[in-house]
Chain A
Amino acid sequence: MNTIRLLKDKIVRNSSALLLFLSLSVVVFMGLGLVYKSWPLLESESLFRLLTEKIWSPMKGYFGFLPFIAGTLAVTTVALIIAVPLCILTAVYLTEYASKGLRNSILPLINVLAALPPVLYGVWGVLFVVPMIKEYIAPIFGVETSGYSVLAAGIVLAVMIFPIMISIIVEVLQTIPDELKAASLSLGATKWETIQHIILAKAKPGIIAATVLAISRAFGETIAVLMVCGNIPKIPTSIFDAGYPIPALIANNFGEMMSIPLYESALMFSALLLFAIIFLFNFIARIILNRLENKYNG
């Protein structure tokens, strides 16, 4: 009896260890596979030129990624400018001011926001954000635009990163000990002064980590952005211009026109770029968050 139990234990141990090993090797496999696939392009052009060249014309053999990098950065920046202040203020309100009842009814709603699939954000973007920009916002600035623009993509992305930022910041704020707040309040500071000087200062690493995670989410978001950003491979000069972020490039062209030399390799290279940037950003954010967690738990 005992030997059977121990045997079972061992079987579970070994098979689950194997699963762990296999699934972890997915990362390695992804990285290597992407490098392997993008190698032909990297051999024909220098990395620096690929990243700084402006012209994208696969038919003629020009593979300049700058428009896509610029598109990604533009869209992400707009999203952050909208989302970061809103998320910090909301998170502070929820943890410091809101009653328990209100907090417990708002946080689940934010979870719903997190659960909505990207394509639904895209639908909202196409049906609501794009026309709104075309009809109301652009005319204020005297600009004519189709609405499919960096701004539209930025707004949609901002809403998409609300949940991840708010939930992390709320968690970080909740780890700040009450004694610290009490100390500041008892010195005669108002609640807002306490928040400004004590709470936000303490929560800074957490807020930075949340922002980094949000950036990597924004970099990788494909469908919702693709649906509203206009997809023109030119460097955008205003937020009302169309943009063309990297993920959209992959999604729009993958599996098609594979007969053009180096085209597949170029698309794989853009996937590699995404993979590398997001790997790095996630790594940094997780290290910060794990540090924070350990600090407060032990």
Chain B
Amino acid sequence: MASVKVRLWKERIAKGFMLLSGFLVTGSLFFIVGTILYKGLPYLSWEMVSQLPKGGFYIGKEGGILNAILGSLYLASAATILATIIGIPISIFLTVYLKQGSFLSRLSKLIYDILYGIPSIVYGAIGFSIMVYFGIRASLLGGIITITLLTIPIVVRTVDELLKTVPADLRHVTQSLGATRWEVAKVLLLFIKPGVFTAILLAFGRAIGDVAGVLLTSGFSDNLPKYIDEPAATLPLAIFFQLSSPIPEVQGRAYASALVLTIIILIIVLCTQYLAAKQKKHKM
């Protein structure tokens, strides 16, 4: 057996490695955000966020990224609303209407877990095929359909996790008042309300940040879509397409888009943290 001294040294070395890893992992976040801030800040201006790009796609030097900002907001909001409308009833059905631990509920939850892991490029490929089949061209609508499919599992899983945290006794006392299952569900939703907003925000964050799903389905345009069947730009697409441009001004639009997207994501994360704290307090 090694002496105590050696053993304690081992402990110290191990701890050093752990600290180093923790530092690297956390540091990577600051690295990424820092890089984007460094590159994006010089280009961020009121003109940039309030104007459409001018002078032609990929080569035009003038204008801003309003098309991408609004396109992203349209697409992500529509998809999130649809996913919420579809996803919340599903989680309620799984927890309130089905018996706990029944085969169907376990199977469904497993499938949603898996769907959550399916990469968005596969959703995109499927969405594209559906669109070709129905003769829909790459458009806002196509993007919305794909992203809705992508975000439903997020809503279902998060709300399901939340419903799991509701004590069974709360359901029982509500039922004891003679409430139907639907009325019980409404009470449960009230109970997890802050958490439901978290789920919606998470879905929105995923929806607004996704590229692979919309790359094939929503097209890209320098203009704002007037109708839902017109192609639309999104921030991630604007970054993806313009980052490799040889023209510095166009590249600048990509940096600015990255910065705007980062800010939106950070706001969403802050809101979710706030809501999570509120949900904790809610539960006493």
Binding site for B on A (CB under 8 A): 5-6, 8-9, 12-13, 15-17, 19-20, 23-24, 26-27, 29-30, 33-34, 37, 85-87, 89-90, 92-94, 97-98, 106, 108-113, 115-124, 126-128, 159, 162, 166, 190-193, 195, 213, 216-217, 219-223, 227, 247, 250-251, 254-255, 267-268, 271, 274-275, 278-279, 281-283, 286-287, 290
Contacts and interface: CB of A to CB of B under 8 A. Distances in A.
A90 B25 contact: yes
A163 to B, nearest CB: 9
Contacts of B268: 115
B114 A286 contact: yes
A267 B113 contact: no
Nearest to A194: B11
A230 to B, nearest CB: 13
Contacts of A223: 211-212, 215, 236, 240
A271 B118 CA distance: 11
B132 to A, nearest CB: 9
Interface stretch (B44-52, B92-100, B224-232): B92-100
A115 B26 contact: no
Contact of B261 (A108, A119, A290): A119
B209 A93 contact: no
Given A117-B209, A159-B32, A220-B122, A190 B21 contact: no
Nearest to A108: B273
B152 interface: yes
A112 B117 contact: no
A274 B121 contact: yes
A98 B19 CA distance: 10
B205 interface: yes
Given A23-B152, A93-B19, A251-B215, A117 B25 contact: no
A222 B87 CA distance: 26
Contacts, number: 253
B125 A271 contact: yes
B93 A19 contact: yes
A290 B110 contact: yes
B273 A247 contact: no
Nearest to B114: A282
B239 to A, nearest CB: 5
B216 interface: yes
A115 B273 contact: no
Interface in B54-94: 86, 89-90, 92-94
Given A109-B29, A190-B7, A120 B261 contact: yes
Q: Output the residue of A13, A15, A30, A120 with the most chain B CB within 10 A.
A: A120
Contact of A12 (B89, B113, B265, B272): B89
Given A117-B236, A124-B32, A126-B243, A33 B126 contact: yes
A110 B21 contact: no
Given A12-B182, A26-B115, A27-B114, A191 B212 contact: no
Given A112-B269, A254-B128, A127 B35 contact: yes
B205 A89 contact: no
A116 B210 CA distance: 10
A9 B182 contact: yes
B190 interface: no
B22 A90 contact: yes
Contacts of A89: 17-18, 20-22
Interface string B97-122: 10000000000101101111111111
B170 interface: no
B240 A122 contact: yes
Contacts of A283: 110, 114
A17 B22 CA distance: 45
B216 A255 contact: yes
Given A27-B115, A251-B212, A116 B26 contact: no
B25 A87 contact: yes
Contacts of B211: 117-119, 222-223
B266 A112 contact: yes
A110 B239 CA distance: 24
Contacts of A271: 121-122, 125-126
